[in-house]
Amino acid sequence: MWDVAYAQAGGGPSTFISMLPLVLIFAVFYFLLIRPQQRKARDHRNMLAQLKRNDEVMTTGGVFGKILGLTETEVTLEVAPNVKIKVGRSYIAQLFRTEKAAGAKEAKGK
């Protein structure tokens, strides 16, 4: 009777060893998926916060335009001469160039 109880008590792997594969899988997901996505979202929020008039941007739909007006939630873009559209601020995907950068390029060319 004592032999059966003794064999059941010490035969299996420790709890730490059995949980180690789950911890490693979570670590891989964190460093390969979660962390880069958080960094990309933070960079996008910073870019949206720095938008100003006369910046040239592209929306998530692929529309290129120049910023004419900004509010907290929307951006007015000029996509062609005398053609203005309003888009949500969060739908600005990329900032291409600002007035200051364009002025610096022109100054170098002179």
Domain boundaries of the chain, sorted by first residue: 1-49, 52-110
Quick one: pLDDT at residue 54?
92
Residue 71 confidence (pLDDT): 92
Question: Which helix (H) or strand (E) segment is 65 a member of?
Answer: strand 64-70
Partners of 76 in beta bridges:
69, 86
| Matching CATH number, 52-110, of 3.40.720.10, 1.25.40.10, 2.30.30.100, 1.20.1260.10 | 2.30.30.100
User: Computed from CA positions of residues 84, 87, 91, 92, in that sequence, does the dihedral angle turn out positive or negative?
Assistant: positive
Predicted confidence pLDDT, tens digits, the chain (110 residues): 555 555 555 556 788 888 999 999 999 999 999 999 999 999 999 999 999 999 999 999 999 999 999 999 999 999 999 999 999 999 999 998 766 655 555 555 54
Q: Distance between CA atoms of 41 and 74, rounded to whole angstroms?
A: 19
**Model pLDDT, residue 75:** 96
Comparing C-alpha atoms, which of 92, 28, 87 is closest to residue 58? 92
Q: How far is CA 91 from the centre of its chain?
A: 13
How confident is the model at residue 64, as a pLDDT? Answer: 95
Which sign, positive or negative, has the C-alpha torsion 67, 69, 71, 76?
Answer: negative
Report the pLDDT value the prediction gives residue 15, as an integer from 0 to 100. 82
Say which residues have a Cβ less than 8 Å from residue 72's Cβ, sequence separation at least 6. Answer: 89
